[in-house]
Structure 1
């Protein structure tokens, strides 16, 4: 069973939050959606809430909301015989300048605390306050995965063959930067090229920061790094560590487009 919330959050349990929708003075549950991917041992639960009033301790209310959605995501996986060991979370609201993404992490007894602290840290850095979700519907999406049993290799017939590939230099997306963020620049460039389907001249302007696209490429890259929790001070970034987080982030936003 998912560990109970810390004592400081005891005033707002799951039953207190959602047990009586009509009599609850603080929060209402407006909608609910669950999905399960058996191939990748992953589940996603998205729940829409509305905070109609704030208690004296808004943090305890947020903690209860996170605990409720996380508990539902874990239950969804367990119904399929899967015991998740990692989860990530996204909070969306019209009151937020952008979605707040909590990077995928190991599930521990401190998971609710950790997610709440990360959420408050991000929103405070954006000069928001504890009332930022009050008064308008907001969506909490939690994705869980059993990483230990997730298939990592697709097997098929035939022998492995190695071929020398000749790549046209004009077909390469070239990154020009004066910092250490090459990995994230390349991910953003590939994402934009594959999904936006811009004409060649527009993509060129985007990559070269020309005309109306001035500094947009760099801004998108910085936003991605912030979203996945990548610090800006590292000398290098391991693709094995950060690409899964980026893919998970894009999947949470775009419902499974990326593998």
Structure 2
């Protein structure tokens, strides 16, 4: 079992504190620390960092912190603490930015349809604030309107974007390492296993088959940023200096 390296230890500690403390004190930090949609009044630029330390439940934080320890430890040992922290936060922030861009594109597409139906900006904002609308005037499908409302109101939490970056970097550095899922316990080389996971996120992100409220494009964004950084470092034989 690999030892708990310095950066990963402190990341886990901060995540656990921010998970447990609000429950003990009965306070909700979601509006402050979770990543809100940019047009939502609770949005703050700092949330691109702080959302990485917020989690939606015990299973969510357990899986993310386990993956961080399991796949991040050999990377921190190889790169060193400071370079690992740079990588981790770059992947997490990049994941949040790409997630926001995709949401913004989807939101604006529906927004334009509503304006084409004759709704004013104040009419649309009232829909977003109250969740009510004139069914005779707004003829868009209910599922599309629900998506519009959800994009505006649903914040993103979790370190998953950064974790996907770590997974990709692990796959680049240790392509022949054997990995398996709990529900599919067949060992597969990392060079095949990790791309399959990312392709799954891409499929669920562009279709309506996603199970649960999962930010698939945050995963894809973290994987992309992680790949670019890890590929560049590997190409240039980047190691601890």
TM-score in terms of structure 1 length:
0.29
TM-score in terms of structure 2 length:
0.30
Structure 1 or 2: more helix by fraction: 2
Q: Using CA pairs below 8 Å that are at least 6 residues apart, which structure has the higher relative contact order?
A: 2
Structure 1 or 2: more strand by fraction: 1
Q: Over alpha carbons, which structure has the higher Rg?
A: 1
